[in-house]
Chain A
Amino acid sequence: QKEVEQNSGPLSVPEGAIASLNCTYSDRGSQSFFWYRQYSGKSPELIMFIYSNGDKEDGRFTAQLNKASQYVSLLIRDSQPSDSATYLCAVNERGGSEKLVFGKGTKLTVNP
């Protein structure tokens, strides 16, 4: 069974701080990595994806990938109360499959 592990949190940061969310995965053949945000009672929505080692930035969000360590992270700069949500890491299965395996998520709270 392919596994994606996340610290369940909750992670609490003050407004304006950097929030760091981490994820490890077990399948070395995985090629695509995603971060979804899920507000309480809502459905997941895609916020970042990364395919290559290194960093990818989009506004206040930065995704980081290290395939050798099988590690993916999401940094949120200048955190806002509206960023309070559960963040789900998702990884595709080996071979470029469309099948995504999700972690259980990290709940982030940004305190005003």
Chain B
Amino acid sequence: DAGVIQSPRHEVTEMGQEVTLRCKPISGHDYLFWYRQTMMRGLELLIYFNNNVPIDDSGMPEDRFSAKMPNASFSTLKIQPSEPRDSAVYFCASSLAPQGKLFFGSGTQLSVL
């Protein structure tokens, strides 16, 4: 398996623009997670899905953030409108029970100018 695939690897955008991050989990994994990593706050869980259903979105910082998982092989994280404080590395991860054994994608380095 190719592992968790994220795109794009790098995204540079201007404040106010819409940003869409994409993720393809490992085939057969039934959990998908979106994390954000910054130097100040470390790795923070934004939202996670089980069998394509959002289970916990309490980490989504604001209404500007939304995530979808239309099928078992694809998820998006959208930021609209983007702000400079959204600059971070965004990781997607997937797992198959038992809990906690996450496989991370390569991440998307987002810079909002």
- State whether A88 and B43 are in contact (beta carbons under 8 Å apart), knowing that A34-B100, A98-B55 are contacts in the complex: yes
**Hey, which chain B residues are within 8 Å of A101, CB to CB?**
45
Partner of A98 from B35, B41, B48 at Cβ < 8 Å:
B48
Q: For the complex, is B50 an interface residue (Cβ under 8 Å from A)?
A: yes
**A102 CA to B41 CA, complexed, in Å:** 10
Query: If A43-B91, A92-B100 touch, does A99 touch B48 (CB 8 Å cutoff)?
Result: yes
State the main secondary structure of chain B at its contact with A: strand
Verify B42–A99 contact, CB threshold 8 A: no
Interface centre among B35, B43, B91, B101 (most CB of A within 10 A): B43
Shortest CB distance A56–B (Å) = 14
12 contacting pairs across A/B (C-beta < 8 A) = A32-B99, A42-B106, A43-B105, A44-B102, A45-B104, A46-B102, A46-B103, A97-B99, A98-B48, A98-B99, A99-B56, A100-B45
Interface residues of chain B, those whose CB is within 8 Å of chain A, are 31, 35, 41-45, 48, 50, 55-56, 91, 95, 98-107
Given pairs A44-B102, A98-B95, A99-B56, 10 additional interface contacts (CB within 8 A): A32-B100, A34-B101, A42-B106, A43-B91, A44-B43, A49-B101, A92-B99, A98-B48, A98-B50, A98-B99
